[in-house]
Amino acid sequence: GQQLNQSPQSMFIQEGEDVSMNCTSSSIFNTWLWYKQEPGEGPVLLIALYKAGELTSNGRLTAQFGITRKDSFLNISASIPSDVGIYFCAGQRGAQKLVFGQGTRLTINP
């Protein structure tokens, strides 16, 4: 089945560093979403992007909807310990189901 290519698969950083991850697809999406999942819980929506070229921030998080509509990135600035988790991108077309990336596991050394 279709999946998004998300990279990197894992990141090990120092507290205070900036983080960048991205997703690419061979297909166009109308919506790009970024979720965070913590152990034993379901994914929680962080940022939703609805227009090509859109740049949206949520606190220290910034995400962009690629101009080709086939990619998106998420940046986290000045990372803190509670940023630890798995980050997923997801693409959506209209009222259809989400297609998820494989996830980026973020580990932070204090």
Partner 1 sequence: NAGVTQTPKFQVLKTGQSMTLQCAQDMNHEYMSWYRQDPGMGLRLIHYSVGAGITDQGEVPNGYNVSRSTTEDFPLRLLSAAPSQTSVYFCASSYSGGRASTDTQYFGPGTRLTVL
Give the shortest CB-21-to-partner 1 separation in angstroms: 13
Return the number of the residue (77 or 98) whose C-beta is nearest partner 1. 98
CA distance 96 to 105: 27
Q: Which CB atom, from 41 or from 110, has the smaller least distance to partner 1?
A: 41
User: To the nearest whole angstrom, how small is the minimum distance from the Cβ of residue 56 to partner 1?
Assistant: 12
| Token pair belonging to 26 | 């061979």
- Which residue ranges make up the site for partner 1 (CB under 8 A)? 1-4, 6, 9, 31, 33, 40-45, 48, 50, 88, 90, 92, 94-103
CA distance 28 to 69: 5
The whole-angstrom separation of Cα 30 and Cα 106 is 27
